């Protein structure tokens, strides 16, 4: 089975901007925070916002006064004045392209032009645009409705709802122009809508069936589904992965996926992952079980544990230490136990694109808790054989890892802070993970008396901290959309995606220089030259993810985490040939 994914699927810039403004407002302003109507036409996002206490304003006179965020669709100027008069603070997140349409309408209506909006009558965006027409406006969406325009009109200004069908707009506007002498036509359909529609039609022409993901009440999503269905092409319009008609889809060998401008990434990725699993059923025996095995390793946290084993192996060889089994398995067991326990503690926290994983955690929580405890006890038992200091060090690290994720402040005591856990402190996760991995991989051998502290220890620590920190930040970049919606304050959210890449560059550069310098001066083994490839690995990933190449959710996660295993494979190669 072949799956073609539209590059334009998901949040458009206007919607993403509105979501960002709302979430920044919720973070910086005192509650209550409202949106004027649903922020976007997606029930799943609205449900998440409601869990954060952000609700749509329905009756301004009946609720406590606070901040109202104007959604991307915009509102009439009269409505904005009324809200201010009542006592609400206004935060305007109107899409810049919609604001431009409003400006055109306002300018021409004051000059005596009758405004014709080609769009869906009653749609929030159309209502907002019509409010700028000073009572000289009409909304039409068919040839028949042209006849309903008021008589005696001399000058017309035609604009489009920004998510209209391009072909539909051109046909109706040309028909109107042929009936009136003075007509100004402004094609105000935004570029992202045009590209989304063009790509959907292109993909639909290359596949056997189309899947359109998005809210049933999203005008642009419904329009996409109608366009591909009119080709004609079998089209399935769904809101979530649960609505996929698997049995019907099995008969197709080529499927296309697109999504509306208000569909969040994690919903699209869940659909993609489900279709990939369907694709694997049609694949050959080896590929099918390979994919299923990788997905099992990821969801069970075994993949990250293998990564810890691999890093410990590389760290030992980098320092010239013989990598014995206890030195490698203890970090792996520790990481495995910490990830399992932290995911279990987080399973009730509304979140991210790992919703499938959260479901599995809920289904097998008792088994996973036993597995986490067993792994931790086994790691501590092995550390005892290495000596008292390694045992105490691992015990403190284990307590610290658990304390990091448990609520320290009772909910009823929480008044002026949203931070109940150390994990809630902004950007703490990336720093904690890097420090924990490095201290376990390097600290255990030191405390065993196998090694003494030296420059090679510092080189190894910096290397591990760098690659673990970069890995954690890359996962944050990947999950930024859903993290913002659920209120997680990660580094990419705090300082921005462009600045975070600059930060990663300045963090990776010292480690890269030190690895080459350590190898040249003999501070470490010559393995340091080869491990520099692990610093370049994330940058290669970012290069591909920034281009037109599409990684689905689980694939991108596995690629990011595979850098740790790549590290171990490099060390294994070096041990055989050098």
In a domain, 457, yes or no: yes
Residue 278 shares a structural domain with residue 426: no
Antiparallel, parallel or unpaired: β 89-92 and 114-118: unpaired
Which of 93, 127, 162 is at the close of a domain? 93
Grade residue 330 by pLDDT with cuts at 50, 70 and 90: very high
The residues assigned a catalytic role are: 125
Section 308-323 average pLDDT: 91
Q: Which helix (H) or strand (E) holds 475?
A: helix 455-478
Residue 356 shares a structural domain with residue 496: yes
In a domain, 530, yes or no: yes
Residue 403 shares a structural domain with residue 533: yes
Residue 264 shares a structural domain with residue 319: no
Q: Which of 208-212, 520-524, 538-542 has the lowest mean pLDDT?
A: 538-542
User: Residue 550 pLDDT more than 70?
Assistant: no
Give tens-digit pLDDT for 68-89: 999 999 999 999 999 999 999 9
Residue 551, number of CB atoms within 10 A of its CB: 18
pLDDT at 349: 45
Section 17-28 average pLDDT: 84
User: Residue 238 pLDDT more than 70?
Assistant: yes
In a domain, 554, yes or no: yes
Residue 519 shares a structural domain with residue 414: yes
The CA distance from 242 to 542, in Å, is: 31
Residue 369 shares a structural domain with residue 255: no
pLDDT at 362: 43
3 contacts: CB under 8 Å, gap ≥ 6: 255, 256, 257, 272, 275, 276, 279
505/478: higher pLDDT: 505
Cis peptide before 232 (omega within 30 of 0): yes
Grade residue 147 by pLDDT with cuts at 50, 70 and 90: confident
Closest alpha carbon to 1 in 291, 282, 285, 289? 282
- 3 state SS of 479: coil
In a domain, 4, yes or no: no
pTM (two decimals):
0.69
Could you list the residue range(s) of the whole structural domain that residue 314 is in?
Answer: 301-577
**Alpha helices (H) along 479-552:** 480-486, 491-495, 497-521, 527-546
pLDDT at 202: 92
376: left (phi over 0), alpha (psi -120 to 50) or beta: alpha
Paired residues of 484 in beta bridges: none
Q: How far is CA 199 from the centre of its chain?
A: 22
Residue 276 shares a structural domain with residue 396: no
Give tens-digit pLDDT for 371-422: 889 999 999 999 999 889 999 999 999 998 888 877 666 655 544 445 666 7
pLDDT at 301: 84
User: Residue 185 pLDDT more than 90?
Assistant: yes
Q: What's the number of CA atoms in the CB half-sphere (13 Å) around residue 511? A: 24
Section 118-131 average pLDDT: 92
Residue 201 shares a structural domain with residue 216: yes
In a domain, 293, yes or no: no
- 3 state SS of 246: helix
Which of 73, 93, 113 is at the close of a domain? 93
Residue 214 shares a structural domain with residue 88: no
Section 510-538 average pLDDT: 89
User: Residue 358 pLDDT more than 60?
Assistant: no
The CA distance from 183 to 467, in Å, is: 61
Range with top average pLDDT, 465-474, 493-502, 533-542: 465-474
User: Residue 546 pLDDT more than 60?
Assistant: no
The CA distance from 266 to 273, in Å, is: 10
pLDDT at 529: 93
Residue 35 shares a structural domain with residue 141: no
In a domain, 149, yes or no: yes
Query: How much is the mean pLDDT over the chain?
Result: 84
Which of 245, 260, 287 is at the close of a domain? 287
Residue 42 shares a structural domain with residue 115: no
| Residue 525 φ then ψ, to 5° | -70, 165
Percent of the chain, pLDDT > 90?
A: 37
In a domain, 1, yes or no: no
Give tens-digit pLDDT for 23-32: 888 877 888 8
Residue 17 shares a structural domain with residue 142: no
Section 30-49 average pLDDT: 85
User: Residue 361 pLDDT more than 60?
Assistant: no
**Alpha helices (H) along 189-240:** 191-204, 219-229
In a domain, 136, yes or no: yes
Grade residue 280 by pLDDT with cuts at 50, 70 and 90: low
Q: Domain count of the chain?
A: 4
- The DSSP output letter for 324 is -
User: Residue 548 pLDDT more than 60?
Assistant: no
Grade residue 228 by pLDDT with cuts at 50, 70 and 90: very high
Q: Assign residue 79 the CATH number of its domain.
A: 3.40.50.11270
Q: Assign residue 107 the CATH number of its domain.
A: 3.40.1010.20
């Amino acid at each position: 089975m072949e799956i073609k994914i539209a590059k334009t699927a998901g949040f458009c810039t206007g919607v993403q901007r509105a979501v960002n403004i709302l979430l920044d407002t919720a973070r910086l302003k005192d509650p209550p925070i409202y949106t004027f109507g649903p922020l976007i036409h997606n029930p799943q996002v609205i449900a998440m916002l409601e869990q954060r206490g952000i609700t749509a304003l329905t009756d301004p006179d009946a609720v406590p006064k606070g901040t109202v965020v104007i959604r991307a669709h915009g509102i009439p100027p009269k409505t904005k004045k009324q809200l201010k008069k009542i006592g609400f603070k206004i935060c305007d997140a109107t899409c810049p392209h919609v604001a431009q349409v409003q400006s055109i309408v306002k300018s021409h209506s004051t000059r005596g032009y009758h405004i014709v909006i080609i769009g869906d009558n009653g749609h929030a965006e159309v209502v907002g645009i019509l409010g700028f027409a000073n009572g000289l406006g009409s909304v039409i969406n068919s040839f028949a409705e042209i006849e309903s325009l008021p008589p005696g009109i001399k000058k017309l200004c035609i604009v489009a709802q920004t998510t209209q069908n391009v072909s539909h707009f051109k046909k109706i506007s040309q028909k109107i122009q042929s009936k009136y002498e003075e007509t100004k036509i402004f094609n105000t359909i935004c570029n992202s809508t045009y590209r989304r529609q063009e790509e959907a039609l292109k993909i639909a022409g290359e596949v056997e069936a189309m899947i359109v993901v998005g809210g049933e009440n999203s005008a642009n999503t419904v329009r996409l589904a109608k366009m591909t269905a009119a080709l004609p092409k079998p089209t399935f319009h769904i809101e979530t992965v649960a609505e996929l008609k698997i049995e019907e889809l099995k008969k197709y060998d080529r499927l296309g996926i697109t999504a509306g401008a208000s569909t969040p990434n994690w919903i699209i990725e869940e659909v993609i992952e489900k279709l990939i699993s369907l694709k694997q059923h049609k694949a050959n025996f080896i590929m099918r079980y390979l994919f299923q095995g990788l997905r099992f390793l990821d969801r069970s946290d075994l993949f990250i544990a293998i990564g810890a084993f691999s890093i410990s192996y590389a760290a030992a060889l980098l320092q010239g230490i013989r990598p014995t089994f206890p030195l490698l398995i203890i970090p792996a067991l520790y990481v495995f136990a910490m990830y399992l326990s932290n995911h279990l503690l987080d399973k009730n926290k509304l979140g991210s694109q790992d919703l499938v994983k959260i479901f599995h955690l809920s289904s097998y929580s008792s088994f996973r808790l036993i597995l986490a405890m067993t792994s931790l006890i086994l790691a501590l038992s092995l550390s005892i054989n290495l000596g008292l200091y390694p045992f105490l060090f691992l015990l403190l690290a284990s307590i610290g890892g658990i304390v990091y994720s448990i609520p320290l402040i009772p909910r009823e005591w929480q008044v002026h802070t949203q931070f109940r856990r150390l994990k809630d402190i902004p950007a703490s996760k990336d720093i904690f993970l890097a420090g924990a991995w490095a201290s376990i991989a390097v600290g255990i051998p030191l405390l065993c008396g196998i090694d003494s502290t030296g420059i090679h220890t510092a080189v190894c620590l910096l290397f591990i901290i760098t690659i673990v920190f970069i890995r954690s930040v890359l996962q944050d970049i990947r999950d930024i959309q859903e993290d913002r919606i659920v209120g997680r304050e990660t580094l990419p959210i705090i300082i921005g995606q462009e600045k975070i890449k600059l930060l990663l560059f300045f963090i990776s550069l010292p480690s890269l220089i030190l690895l080459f310098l350590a190898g040249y001066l003999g501070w470490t083994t010559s393995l340091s030259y080869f491990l520099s490839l692990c610093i370049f690995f994330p940058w290669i990933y970012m290069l591909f993810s920034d281009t037109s190449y599409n990684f689905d959710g689980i694939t991108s996660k596995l690629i990011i985490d595979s850098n740790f295993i790549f590290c171990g494979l490099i060390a294994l190669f070096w041990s055989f040939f050098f």
